[in-house]
Amino acid sequence: MNIATTFLALGLLGAVSFAHAAPNCTIALEGSDQMQFNLKTVTVSASCASISIELVHTGKLPVAAMGHNVVISKTADMASIASAGMKAGAAAGYVLKGDPTIVATTEMIGGGAKTSTKFAGSKLVAGGDYTFFCSFPGHSALMKGTVIVTK
Ligand code: CO
């Protein structure tokens, strides 16, 4: 096999593995007592029938002091969702129920807890500008990241 053939073979191999790559349908995040998520970017596919959000709070502080959730929205909607959530208050988990600009949200949890939820991939548009964040008052300044949506 000469060099050109080898490159051609590698190229075909790459194309095949890309075409057959399973879409990512899970967003797994950890939130800490240092008010941080463990990831700055997550990637999911809009073709997923169902996308799971799995959140683990790795800290020890109670939900009233260091609550974390995962809200997904268009980046442009993050500030208004966080503001409305703050007004909704602790009993509402700092999420305004029925807010149409929220794509998905988990419940608010404290240290040592975990939670998960599911939503349809069809609620996302491939290539759109989306953010994940925690809506606990003040947390979205640090606890946020990019949601990359593939086809
Ligand atoms: Co938080």
Task: Compare 138 and 11 and report the one with higher pLDDT.
Answer: 138
Look up the pTM and report it. 0.86
Q: What's the rounded mean pLDDT across residues 117-146?
A: 98
Match 């990359």 to its residue by tokens.
148
What band does 20 get if pLDDT is binned at 50, 70 and 90?
low
CA–centroid distance, 68 to ligand 1, in Å, is 3
Vertex 29: Cα angle to 25 and 32 (nearest 5) = 175
CA–centroid distance, 123 to ligand 1, in Å, is 24
1 pLDDT higher than 70: no
Q: Model confidence over 60-114: pLDDT tens digits?
A: 999 999 999 999 999 999 999 999 999 999 999 999 999 999 999 999 999 999 9
What band does 41 get if pLDDT is binned at 50, 70 and 90?
very high
Whole-angstrom distance, CA of residue 66 vs CA of residue 9: 52
CA–centroid distance, 151 to ligand 1, in Å, is 29
Kindly state the tokens that stand for 7: 């490159």
What band does 21 get if pLDDT is binned at 50, 70 and 90?
low
What band does 116 get if pLDDT is binned at 50, 70 and 90?
very high
Contact in structure between 106 and 53 (CB atoms under 8 Å): yes
CA–centroid distance, 77 to ligand 1, in Å, is 18
pLDDT of residue 22: 79
Closest to 108 measured CA to CA, from 50, 142, 65:
65
pLDDT of residue 23: 87
pLDDT of residue 99: 97
Whole-angstrom distance, CA of residue 135 vs CA of residue 55: 14
